[in-house]
């Protein structure tokens, strides 16, 4: 048996002090009062020193970091992401593709499939961001690669694709949505010019759906045209991704979303690109040049091109901005994505019988001090 002591345990419904987290092998064995444990019987004792002990973050929308990208043809790109991400508190993620041509996207999905069993952060599948999107709200996606929705792209990779971002107004009927539901693929509304009415009508039969990086690359909230933002805020079936780097979404807007959606309706993401964790300079996203300066990543025309914020900073920003209880904020990066991705039986919270994917974070600045995956220490600051 191994133990983590003197930490503040962040559970789905509270923050627990004066308790010990016990784990054995790759599994959490129990959480017990500290006076009920004889530490002499533990083969390893990790001293948390008053830091937060949280479940590992699950990042469902990330293109790259540390100089590599999901679309890179280099076979070492995804393994590098898997090795680097634990330093940001991420223990599971969905490598996210871009709007490229079909052969390039299929090659990326193949590499994601192959990398699933690699050491490091767990790959739970892929998030396809495009190519079935709107030219009007393409954002940093390349317009020449935008296509009409075709499920034949996804079907050979239904064991890999977990989320597909698309513009619902471009669909011909609901056959594509029905196919996604049959294959347990989450549909996420994004890079879309849909109206409020179109979103509520087209997505009405979905038990739940996602909103890709709420506020960004979509029709905005207007008092006469509520747009996708209005639909996202009002529909309880819409679970909203938020990039909380304080650039893509203003702190006040983050607080507003919390009051509208609550703990269960928000999923914190980074949407980070290869420039994340690197110094300022020229980078790349989707075959286009990106220029990083003073914490901002933009295309040559000034368009925002993803985030360079790591996950622990995103969680910290939302905690400060939303003024929500810590356990609710952490759930938005753990419990909620695990629930929607169908892995909450083994991931997403500190609970007996779940995998020991654990991150220890400084309460002062949310700096990651230590990360465990399957009970093994994979990162120490």
- What residues are labeled active site? 271
Dihedral (CA of 345, 346, 348, 353) sign = positive
Q: How far is CA 283 from CA 140, 354, 359, in A?
A: 13, 38, 29
Phi, psi for 236 (deg, rounded to 5): -65, -15
Q: Which residues face 129 on adjacent strands?
A: 165
Q: Exposed (0-12), middle (13-18) or buried (19+): which is 270, by Cβ within 10 Å?
A: buried
Distance from the Cα of residue 130 to its chain's centroid = 16
How far is 33 from 175, CA to CA, in rounded Å?
Answer: 53
- Quick one: how many helices (H) and strands (E) in the chain? 9, 24
Q: Which of 318, 320, 374 is nearest to 86 (CA)?
A: 374
**How crowded is residue 14: how many other Cβ atoms within 10 Å of its Cβ?**
11
Exposed/middle/buried for 195, CB within 10 Å: 0-12, 13-18, 19+? middle
**In 3-state terms, what secondary structure has residue 46?**
strand
The closest alpha carbon to 217, from 46, 92, 98, 75, belongs to 98
Phi, psi of 53 (to 5 degrees): -115, 115
């Amino acid at each position: 048996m191994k133990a983590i002591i003197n930490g503040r345990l962040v559970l789905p419904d509270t923050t627990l002090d004066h308790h010990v987290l016990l784990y054995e092998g790759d599994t959490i064995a129990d959480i017990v009062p500290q006076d009920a444990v004889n530490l002499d019987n533990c083969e390893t004792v990790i001293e948390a020193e008053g830091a937060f002990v949280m479940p590992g973050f699950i990042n469902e929308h990330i293109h790259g970091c540390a100089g590599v990208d999901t679309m890179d043809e280099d076979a070492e790109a995804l393994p590098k992401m898997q090795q680097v991400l634990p330093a940001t508190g991420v223990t599971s993620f969905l490598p996210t593709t871009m709007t490229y041509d079909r052969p390039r996207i299929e090659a990326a999905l193949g590499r994601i499939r192959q990398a699933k069993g690699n050491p490091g952060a767990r790959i739970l599948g892929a998030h396809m961001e495009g190519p079935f999107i709107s030219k009007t709200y393409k954002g940093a996606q390349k317009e020449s690669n935008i296509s009409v929705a075709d499920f034949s792209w996804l079907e050979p990779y239904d064991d890999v694709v977990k989320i597909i971002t698309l513009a619902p107004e471009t669909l011909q009927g609901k056959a594509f949505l029905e196919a996604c539901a049959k294959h347990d693929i989450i549909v996420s509304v994004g890079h879309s010019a849909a109206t409020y009415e179109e979103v509520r009508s087209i997505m009405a039969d979905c038990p739940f759906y996602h909103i890709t990086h709420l506020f960004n690359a979509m029709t905005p909230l207007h008092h006469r045209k509520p747009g996708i933002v209005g639909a996202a805020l009002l529909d309880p079936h819409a679970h909203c991704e938020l990039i909380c780097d304080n650039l893509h979404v203003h702190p006040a807007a983050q607080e507003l979303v919390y009051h509208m959606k609550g703990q269960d309706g928000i999923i914190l993401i980074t949407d980070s690109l290869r420039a994340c964790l690197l110094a300022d300079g020229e980078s790349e996203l989707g075959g286009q040049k990106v220029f990083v300066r003073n914490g901002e990543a933009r295309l040559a025309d000034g368009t925002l091109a993803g985030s360079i914020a790591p996950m622990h900073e995103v969680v910290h920003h939302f905690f400060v901005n939303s003024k929500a209880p810590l356990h609710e904020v952490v759930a938005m990066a753990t419990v909620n994505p695990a629930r929607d991705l169908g892995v909450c039986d083994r991931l997403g919270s500190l609970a007996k019988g779940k995998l020991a994917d654990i991150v220890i974070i400084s309460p002062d600045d949310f700096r990651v001090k230590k990360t465990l995956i399957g009970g093994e220490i994979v990162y120490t600051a």
